[in-house]
Every structure is written in structure tokens, then in C-alpha cells.
Amino acid sequence: MKQYKAIADYYDAEYAGLPMLDQDVPFFLSHLPKRRQNVLELAAGTARAAIPIAQSGHRVVAVDYAADMLAIAEQKRDSVGLTNRELTLLHRDVLKLNLNEKFDHVCIFFNTFYNFTTLDEQDRFLQVARRHLKPTGKLWMDIYNPDLELLSKKHLQQIDPAIFYVPSLDRSVQRDTELVQDHANQVQHVTFHYRWFDADAVEQHEQVKFNLTWLMPRELQLLLERNGFQITRLYGDYDGSAMTGDSPRIISVSRLRR
């Protein structure tokens, strides 16, 4: 498996302004009780979600395997005045995680669950989530609803073009995406193509390659049930609408099966 390994300096600038990233955390927070909750975020990246959750008064433990992403997360956390007690950042493999602690909520945002492309990895992830949930706790997963028309095309190039500015590098970067579908294994081979001009006006190129899977709503339900969860709510978008075939998102809230 080629796991997603972002260019850390690009990450926040690359996704700034994406509408869903202005909506997912407020929607999650609207489902939390007003009293202080203990929240475990898995695959937290640069703490884009973890910081506002902690700023809302909840205790957050955020875990990621990428040290460079967590270094940025630490700088961001400290710059907004959060303490390590309010937001703990851990450099760990989420598939092997055992903190010997139970949380009110375990969450994974921004399609990140699709980075776990095999059934073994998905089961291991969900068992980690199960291990860290209180008996009354909730598992929150937010993934996109697969676009069947997109999936039907074997090879797509130069899709989702974007231009973003990276302040730390004083660099404007152009990115487009290439997809190759492996339907037999339910895997997308993804390549991000980056292009920019250096100080001498020479064009430079960089690539990030990784794999993603996809899940249909029934597949997600079966996967959760086989790992001891039961879906209690299933949303199709951040407006709280019910999941339908045309919904852009699959947002599931699950509890441990009794």
C-alpha cells in the first residue's frame, strides 16, 4: 500500500478554502454535549480539526504517523495558546495504538479512512477505535460518497486543478490530480502533480503518489457491524440531511453494539 504522505509545508495552504473544511468541524461540534468531552482524533495531520475542537473546551488527543505534520500541528497549537493538556499530539501508528484510556468520542475526518485500503487495515483501525471508546462513546467517520461516474473511468488526468500559495516557502504552486482505477481491488491509484517556478524562473515539478479505497453505505455498515459497532445516525451532508444516493458525504455516528 502506498499510504498518503503529504508534503507537510503544502498541506494547510493546499486545502485552504475548501468549503467542506469550513463545515465538518462545526457539524461535529454541534453533536457534542456542552459539558467537556474527551476526544480522540485519529490521523490528525496538522491538527486542522483538533485545534478548534480543543478551543471549544474539549480535551483532545490527536494522533498521526507523520512527524513533519505533527511538528506543524505543535506550532499551530502553541500559537493559539492551547496547552499540551488541552491538546495532546502523539506521533504513533494509529493501527497499533493502545493508550490505555477510554474516550467519549473517537473521530476521523476528511476522507482519511479511505487511506486504509485493505480489509485488514480497516478492521485494525476499527478495533483501535473500539479499544479506546467508553461504553457509551461514539465513533465519528466522515468520508465522501463515491461518484459512480468518476469510478467508471479507468484513467483520469488533470482533474481538480488548483493553485495555492505556501507562505513558509514563498511559493505559488499549481496542482492537478491523476487517477487510475483498480476496480478488482477497489483501489484508486492517485498522483498529485505539483508545478512551480523557482527564483530563477525555472519550472520545477514534484509528485505525491498514494492509494485510496472507497466504500458504499452498505459496505460501511457491514464493516462497522463486523467490528462491533452499530450506526445510530447516517448523514449525507453537513446540513444534517439524511443519506441518499445523491448525497456528497457519508457521515456515520456509531456506538458499540450491546
pLDDT at 200: 92
Q: At 2, is the pLDDT very low, low, confident or very high (cuts 50, 70, 90)?
A: low
Helix (H), strand (E), coil (C) string for 36-92: CCEEEEECCCCCCCHHHHHHCCCEEEEEECCHHHHHHHHHHHHHCCCCCCCEEEEEC
How crowded is residue 21: how many other Cβ atoms within 10 Å of its Cβ?
Answer: 15
Residue 20 binned pLDDT confidence (cut-offs 50, 70, 90):
very high
Average pLDDT over residues 178-191: 96
Grid cell listed for 125: 483501525
Q: Is the pLDDT of residue 254 over 60?
A: yes
Predicted structure pTM score: 0.96
**Contact criterion met (CB below 8 Å) for 115 and 225:** no
**Tens digit of each residue's pLDDT (9 = 90 or more) over 77-102:** 999 999 999 999 999 999 999 999 99
Q: Which of the four pLDDT bands, split at 50, 70 and 90, describes residue 3?
A: confident
C-alpha span between 124 and 4 (Å, rounded) = 18
Query: What distance in Å separates the CA atoms of residue 71 and residue 48, rounded to the nearest whole number?
Result: 13
Q: DSSP class of residue 185?
A: G
| Residues 192-233: tens digit of each pLDDT | 999 999 989 999 999 999 999 999 999 999 999 999 999 999
pLDDT at residue 74 greater than cutoff 70: yes
Q: What percent of the chain has pLDDT over 70?
A: 99
